[in-house]
Amino acid sequence: MKKLVKLLPIIIIGISLSAYSADKAIAPSHSITYPTGWQNWATIAASHRTDNSTLRVILGNDIAVKAARSGNTNPWPDGAVIGKVVWKDTQLSDWQAATAPGNFVHAEFMFKDTKKYSESYGWGWARWVGLEQKPFEKGMNVCISCHTPVKKRDWVFTEPASLPK
Amino acid sequence: MKKLVKLLPIIIIGISLSAYSADKAIAPSHSITYPTGWQNWATIAASHRTDNSTLRVILGNDIAVKAARSGNTNPWPDGAVIGKVVWKDTQLSDWQAATAPGNFVHAEFMFKDTKKYSESYGWGWARWVGLEQKPFEKGMNVCISCHTPVKKRDWVFTEPASLPK
């Protein structure tokens, strides 16, 4: 028991370090570092896609949220990161006319940096799949080709939602 | 012109103060103080209600988000504030199969305080309507009656969305 008490600080540090390294272990997608903490970013918009039965919230880092709420989105400013969090849709248990988030699908991000990403229209495109956040590595062109219909809107589908100031 | 230049600091201070007081001037709903800053709260869930054509995001203050993400929601802890932000739904301009937020409808909140709100099932119920955030004053019973189907879920419809840790 005494031995355990002596070992306790070491055990605690060990657990903390392993939790830390687990958090850091999410590999880059398209060489882009994982944007830790996006789960607490503020909302820019939401959407329900009936063509693939998914529900989405669109979040942003501080630069993106400030740009969204001041209408400064064509182009979006350098440093803006927009995140799209995607779930399969499902029916809410206690209100059948409400569609709600079901299984988590992926979180995908656009990182605005005009210089760094000059070859991909000013954006870094990345995605992490599933609750384990496995990096998507099929190439930014997969993302870009889908976003082509909105190239005149700085490649962004999202229209920031109207909010009280 | 010189007079205007001299007056300019006073004018600027005047405008700043009036903007400040406008922000502070949002009146209480059901005697509950307006929860300033909810626009930057983190996401708990989202929903699309096809019975009244609205799209919603469900946000929370820090206590609510922590509870939601640790499954500590029946009951929700004292201090939790859950916010539901509601827009009429509309079609996204550049992707017709996507439903997106249209006109802002209202933001409504549940404030958990077992003692303070013992007569309304442990929750303070409030709503602010429109972009001008006009307080809803028709009585908490209007809110409670709609939430009766979920009284066994601590009166909350929302099922927190699954998110990577």
> Do A46 and B40 make contact, defined as CB atoms within 8 angstroms?
no
Q: Kindly tell me if the per-residue pLDDT of B57 is higher than 90.
A: yes
Rg of chain A (C-alpha set): 19
- Contact status of A37 with chain B (Cβ, < 8 Å): no
Summarize the confidence of residues B77-101 as an average pLDDT: 96
Residue numbers in B near A50 (CB within 8 A): 97-99
Concatenate the DSSP letters of all residues of chain B into one string: -HHHHHHHHHHHHHHHHHHHHHHHTPPPBTTBPP-TTGGGPEEEEEEEETTTTEEEEEEE-HHHHHHHHTT--TTPPTT-EEEEEEEEEEEETTEEEEEEEEEEEEEEEEEE-TTTTGGGTTEEEEEEETTTTEEP-S-HHHHHHHHGGGGGGTT----PPP---
Which tokens is A7 given? 């070992």
pLDDT grade for A59, boundaries at 50, 70 and 90 = very high
Tell me the per-residue pLDDT of A128-160, one tens digit each, with 9 for 90 and over: 999 999 999 999 999 999 999 999 999 999 999
pLDDT in tens, A15-32: 444 444 445 589 999 999
Question: What is the mean pLDDT of the segment spanning B4-29?
Answer: 60
Angle subtended at Cα B64 by Cα B57 and Cα B116, rounded to the nearest 5 degrees: 115
CB proximity under 8 Å: B 114-143 to A: 128, 130-133
Cα diameter, chain B: 69
pLDDT given at position B25: 86
Q: How far is A123 from chain B (nearest CA, A)?
A: 19
pLDDT at A103 over 80: yes
pTM: 0.86
Between B13 and B137, the more confident residue is: B137
**Which two three-digit tokens encode residue B94?**
């550049």
Q: Quick one: pLDDT at residue B87?
A: 98
Question: What does the alpha-carbon distance between residue A89 and residue A86 come to, in Å, rounded to a whole number?
Answer: 9
